[in-house]
Structures are given as C-alpha cells and as structure tokens.
C-alpha cells in the first residue's frame, strides 16, 4: 500500500457525529481506494474510515449524479456503522463492511461497464451486506429458533436480516441516500 499520511484532522472530536465537513476528500483518499491492498484496519479514526464511503461514491460521480445530500449521507454512514457495531462482532463489523465496499468498488471500476444506478445499487448492497450481523450462522439461528429464524422462516435468515436492516435505514428520511 502506498505510504499515505493518515494524520488526524485537528478539528476531529470523537464525541461528535459524522458531519459533512468530515467528508471533505483528501488526495490520499483517492490513492488509498485505488489500491487493491488498501487495509481499512490501518485507519483508526472512525470519521476517516467513514470518509472512504464518500470517496468511493464521489470517485465515480454518484454523489453528484444522484444529488446525494451530504448530511443525509453522513446519517446513512453513521447508522450503518452503528448497525455493524452494536453486536460487537469481531469479524462481521464496520471494517468488514467497508472492506467489502472497497473490494466491490475496485473490481467494479476495473472489470465492468455498469450504468450509474447499477453501480450505486452494488455499492450500497456491498456496504450493508452484513449489517447487524449476530455473529452466528443461519443454522444456529434456525436450531435455536431465534426471533430472526422465526421472522425469516428459517430461509436465508442472516442474509434477509442484513438486507432488511439496510432497507430500514434507507427508508428513514434522514438517511435515505436514494432520495
């Protein structure tokens, strides 16, 4: 991975929620997302991690194409971060969601010629693919007859849960980046 300066923003306050001023891209963002070996776990600042979502959407002009309001994007990112973090899952966590988002972006921009709407759908899906993961398998959920297993009738329990979680965030006016 290229040597990139990841100094913390001097105005960063970890007690504040993500806001548009944290999304201002830096040249290092583009360098990082263009590298297949980009490792999100090397970034400690949660706002810098979240800025990678914006950098990816911005790099292929989806923010301007779909007129995504930056405050709404911030809310969307923060809600996804919360959902990935609430179960304290050591693998299916926010870093994992960002890594899959990055891998999808990287492969998509080098191997396909999808239209902008498909690109947006792929990236949102990649980002939310494991949101609110319980840390358990579908089989465990079914065997234990958990609420999730009952809700999804033992079929693709976790996959349905992740999709539902993402859609619930997107249905909220303050985090609906799809407009």
Long-range (24+ apart) CB contacts under 8 A made by 118-122 are 119/60, 119/62, 120/57, 120/62, 120/66, 120/178
Query: Which residues are catalytic, by number?
Result: 92
Nearest CA to 68 among 116, 132, 125?
116
What's the predicted TM-score (pTM) here? 0.88
pLDDT tens figures, 96-144: 999 999 999 999 999 989 999 999 999 999 999 999 999 999 999 999 9
């Amino acid at each position: 991975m290229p040597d990139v300066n990841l100094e913390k923003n001097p105005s960063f306050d970890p007690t504040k929620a993500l806001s548009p001023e944290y999304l201002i891209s830096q040249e290092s963002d583009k360098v990082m997302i263009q590298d297949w070996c980009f490792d999100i776990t090397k970034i400690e600042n949660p706002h810098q991690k979240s800025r990678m979502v914006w950098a990816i959407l911005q790099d292929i002009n989806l923010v301007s194409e779909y007129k995504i309001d930056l405050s709404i994007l911030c809310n969307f990112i923060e809600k996804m971060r919360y959902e990935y973090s609430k179960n304290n899952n050591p693998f299916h966590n926010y870093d994992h969601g960002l890594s899959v988002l990055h891998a999808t972006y990287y492969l998509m921009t080098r191997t396909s010629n999808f239209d902008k709407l498909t690109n947006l759908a792929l990236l949102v899906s990649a980002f939310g693919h494991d949101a609110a993961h319980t840390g358990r398998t579908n089989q465990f959920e079914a065997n234990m007859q958990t609420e999730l297993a009952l809700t999804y009738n033992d079929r693709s329990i976790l996959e349905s849960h992740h999709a539902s979680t993402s859609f619930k965030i997107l249905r909220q006016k303050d985090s609906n980046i799809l407009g």
